[in-house]
Structure 1
Amino acid sequence: MTGPYVPPLVDHHCHGVARSGLSAEAFESFLTESDAPAAPGTTFFDTQLGFAVRRWCPPLLGLEPHCPPDEYLRRRHELGPAEATRRLLGAAGIADYLVDTGLTGDLTTPAELAAASGAACHEIVRLEPLAERAADTAGDVPSFLDGLATAVTDAAAGAVGFKSVVGYRHGLDFAPARPEPAEVRSAAGRWLAGRAPGERLADPVLLRHLLWSAADTGLPLQLHTGFGDPDLRLHRCDPLLLTDFVKAVRPTGCTLVLLHGYPYHRNAGYLAAVFPHVYADVGLSLSHTGARAEAVLAETAELTPFGKLLFSTDAYGLPELYVVGAELFRRSLTRLLTGWVEEGAWPARDAERVAAMIAAGNARRVYGTPGESFA
């Protein structure tokens, strides 16, 4: 495919991959946002994401494109998880991974991901586990709040950004203002008094306190928006619900990065267009829309300023998801920009520049990672 050159990518939002071998059922579980097996008589390979995996990944393991799922999984088992991961990540064309380390499970660390891929890895710290770990060791409210403040400060020293899943834990329709200290102490007391060991944080006051604590560090803050697993309520994850928080947090100088967005990706683009500290991301939207990824990327780029649109895969568990996310992004972006150049809407030199910005440069500028911003 000819068109603008797309440089090695910066995947600004992703996760570790499974260290051990996976059963067919476990593999399929990573092809969906559902928390249940496929309906009887069906398979999650029969989805846009499943078809994309079968198109782009088999050749990297020595098979024909579109080979049957059983053949692909047999070959993957023959190679073993380490070799399959090495081959797949090595072919993804990703130069930097910004890894959200907040998920549990037998997943690779950023250092292990770097070793398997040969790429640079940087950490994104998820906020909610910081509070949960502080609560696990706190004896009272003061020790909890002191421990949490220390945890946020320590995390900021080694990470390139924070992430919040407040959309999952409460919804994006939270009160936008910074909570008062007395309000935080009262909420912490209630939560600690009634908390079972290991219980997740869902208190809206403490979730807001985390957001504002992160904003005060000066690091970028990623916010999950749009679709995900059944733990969220999709109508409460529309990024437009963040409008008042976006306005309130602006004086801190914190950069907000709205992840995924789908099916509200146009709304995320609007916020990025009208607020200087808001950025939009294509994320797992492209992987899950597969053959329709070009249309989704085009819709995201309708309003989003090109210097504020970032690439990511949101890959989790399967190295295949890095390959699919990267391939769909590169091909979709190339087709879009080539079409705009051929019809005379864009000059070719600007298509090259914008492709480099979205692929890598914008992320390097936002997160301060080494490399050229292409602005």
Structure 2
Amino acid sequence: MAGTVREVVDALPLVDHHCHGAVTADLGPARFEALLTEGAAWPGVSPFDSPVGVAVRRHCAPLLDLERHAPAAAYLARRAELGWQEVNRRFLRAAHVETFCVDTGYAPHPVTSPAGLAAAAGADAREVVRLESVAEAVARRGVDAAGYASAFRAAAEEAVRRPGVVAVKSVAAYRTGFGLDPARPTYAEVTRAAGLWFARGGRLTDPVLVRHLLWTAVALELPLQLHAGFGDSDLRLHQADPALLTDWLRLTAGTVPVLLLHCWPYQRQAAYLATVFEHVHLDVGLALHYVGPGRAGAVLAEAMEITPFRKLLYSSDAYGVAEFHHLGALSFRRGLAGVLQERVDADELSHTDAVRIAAWTGRDNARRLYGLPVSDPGHD
């Protein structure tokens, strides 16, 4: 490949190895602002007045035919004028993604299916099965406690046999945190915990059942994605430090690939785990569009300090507003190109190596781990 590192990275079709659908409805100002934040749109504090809101007005406004830094009111009016289908099409195509791996287990709003996301983007899409959703569906069916373990395993196996499924995911970081007993729970422990859960109702939050879910995930023999670090207010951030998984990772060595998602502010802990455990990989998705293109390089630089280059992937974790599919990709491209070019300029990295690392990180590592086809050999 010829050209500067930035030119190479800008031209690279990405694999977004973890994201969600885009909303299939026109959004009023309040609903749009609520989707701009992992927190809340508080009275008198607009998410537009935050790093991610400023990044949207700077980098997304031109795709709506607006001037850079367009005022929030003008941005929202133009978005409403175009309608959600055209807005989604513009931002999803601008992301220049060849394959989206879509977590279908979180949908508090009507959002595109993987096929709908792919159609709008002119890309391919695969599915990631969220195992907590599978477990909660089993509980709603009314299985008894003694039958829960086998019913969950059977339902999970059925879910991953669906066409297009390439991975499973757990949000254990949200439900219990990672400070769990790493051992596989016994049948008696699972049965007892299931009985208590069924009597109590609600979401899956029992530590024994979350451990059982993680060990079941290993048995499914597909890559396992684990949310780590940054998330919404349901999370206790200190319990989402992936370093807390160290003992469990020792026990699962030699099994399935484990993909640590997002990780900020624990990208250095995740990098350590990827360095010492063969089956651990990571990304710094979600945080990149929240810090914006101007700071994405700083987050990526920390993730890349010791991470083996075949173990870092790209994800957006975009949900709801298609701006995030675009902004995540843009932030990643600018940040990665900046980090690599700085190393080339310092003669710490050859241009050839920089191009290889860019292709691995943006696309090829995900292709390898998820068994994705080479969709456009001309870009290799």
Query: When the two structures are superposed, what TM-score results if normalisation uses the length of structure 2?
Result: 0.94
Give the distance between the partners of 1:358 and 1:22, measured in 2 at CA.
34
> How many corresponding residue pairs?
369
1:31·1:44 contact (CA, 8 Å) conserved in 2? Answer: yes
What do residues 56-77 of structure 1 show as CA deviations (whole Å, max 9, x unaligned)?
A: 1111111111111111110110
- For 1:212, the aligned partner's letter is W
Aligned twin of 2:213: 210
State the secondary structure of the residue aligned to 1:174.
Answer: coil
Give the distance between the partners of 2:288 and 2:90, measured in 1 at CA.
22
Give 1:248's match in structure 2, choosing from 248, 251, 256: 251
In the alignment, structure 1 residue 155 sits paired with structure 2 residue 166: no
Shift, 1:210, TM fit:
0.8
Give the distance between the partners of 1:50 and 1:295, measured in 2 at CA.
19
Aligned twin of 1:170: 176
Give the distance between the partners of 2:307 and 2:172, measured in 1 at CA.
23
Aligned twin of 2:18: 13
What do residues 292-313 of structure 1 show as CA deviations (whole Å, max 9, x unaligned)?
A: 1111111110011111001000
Give 2:194's match in structure 1, choosing from 178, 188, 199: 188
RMSD, matched Cα: 1.6
Give the distance between the partners of 1:140 and 1:239, measured in 2 at CA.
33
In the alignment, structure 1 residue 25 sits paired with structure 2 residue 30: yes
State the secondary structure of the residue aligned to 1:250.
Answer: coil
Give the distance between the partners of 1:185 and 1:309, measured in 2 at CA.
38
Shift, 1:109, TM fit:
0.8
Give the distance between the partners of 2:243 and 2:153, measured in 1 at CA.
29
Give the distance between the partners of 2:372 and 2:145, measured in 1 at CA.
37
Which range moves more in the overlay, 142-151 or 215-224? Answer: 142-151
Aligned twin of 2:232: 229
Give 2:141's match in structure 1, choosing from 137, 143, 152: 137
- For 1:178, the aligned partner's letter is R
Give the distance between the partners of 2:159 and 2:206, measured in 1 at CA.
22
Give the distance between the partners of 1:91 and 1:227, measured in 2 at CA.
25
What do residues 36-62 of structure 1 show as CA deviations (whole Å, max 9, x unaligned)?
A: 323x43211111111111121111111
Give the distance between the partners of 1:166 and 1:315, measured in 2 at CA.
20
In the alignment, structure 1 residue 80 sits paired with structure 2 residue 83: yes
In the alignment, structure 1 residue 109 sits paired with structure 2 residue 92: no
Give the distance between the partners of 1:29 and 1:371, measured in 2 at CA.
37
Gaps of 5+ in 2: none
Which range moves more in the overlay, 257-266 or 1-10? Answer: 1-10
% of aligned pairs identical?
A: 50
Shift, 1:143, TM fit:
4.0
1:166·1:223 contact (CA, 8 Å) conserved in 2? Answer: yes
Shift, 1:150, TM fit:
1.3
Shift, 1:225, TM fit:
0.7
Aligned twin of 2:74: 71
- For 1:163, the aligned partner's letter is K
State the secondary structure of the residue aligned to 1:176.
Answer: coil
Give the distance between the partners of 2:345 and 2:41, measured in 1 at CA.
45
State the secondary structure of the residue aligned to 1:173.
Answer: coil
State the secondary structure of the residue aligned to 1:327.
Answer: helix
In the alignment, structure 1 residue 343 sits paired with structure 2 residue 346: yes
2:296·2:334 contact (CA, 8 Å) conserved in 1? Answer: no
Aligned twin of 1:45: 48
In the alignment, structure 1 residue 296 sits paired with structure 2 residue 299: yes
Give the distance between the partners of 2:359 and 2:371, measured in 1 at CA.
16
- For 2:240, the aligned partner's letter is C
- For 1:157, the aligned partner's letter is R
Give the distance between the partners of 1:149 and 1:212, measured in 2 at CA.
10
Which range moves more in the overlay, 317-326 or 22-31? Answer: 22-31
Shift, 1:194, TM fit:
2.6
Aligned twin of 1:3: 5
Give the distance between the partners of 1:3 and 1:201, measured in 2 at CA.
45
Task: From the superposition, tell whether residues 139 and 256 of structure 1 become closer, same or farther in structure 2 (CA, over 3 Å).
Answer: closer
Aligned twin of 1:286: 288
Q: How does 1:315-326 map to 2 (within 5 A)?
A: 315-326=318-329
Aligned twin of 2:370: 367
Give the distance between the partners of 2:148 and 2:273, measured in 1 at CA.
35
- For 2:38, the aligned partner's letter is E
What do residues 160-197 of structure 1 show as CA deviations (whole Å, max 9, x unaligned)?
A: 001100110011101111111111111112211232xx
Query: When the two structures are superposed, what TM-score results if normalisation uses the length of structure 1?
Result: 0.95
Give the distance between the partners of 2:279 and 2:149, measured in 1 at CA.
28
- For 2:140, the aligned partner's letter is D
- For 2:166, the aligned partner's letter is V
Give the distance between the partners of 1:146 and 1:269, measured in 2 at CA.
35
Give the distance between the partners of 2:211 and 2:372, measured in 1 at CA.
28
1:138·1:147 contact (CA, 8 Å) conserved in 2? Answer: no
Gaps of 5+ in 1: none
State the secondary structure of the residue aligned to 2:220.
Answer: coil
Which range moves more in the overlay, 325-334 or 183-192? Answer: 183-192
Aligned twin of 1:91: 94
1:138·1:144 contact (CA, 8 Å) conserved in 2? Answer: no
In the alignment, structure 1 residue 55 sits paired with structure 2 residue 58: yes
Aligned twin of 2:273: 271
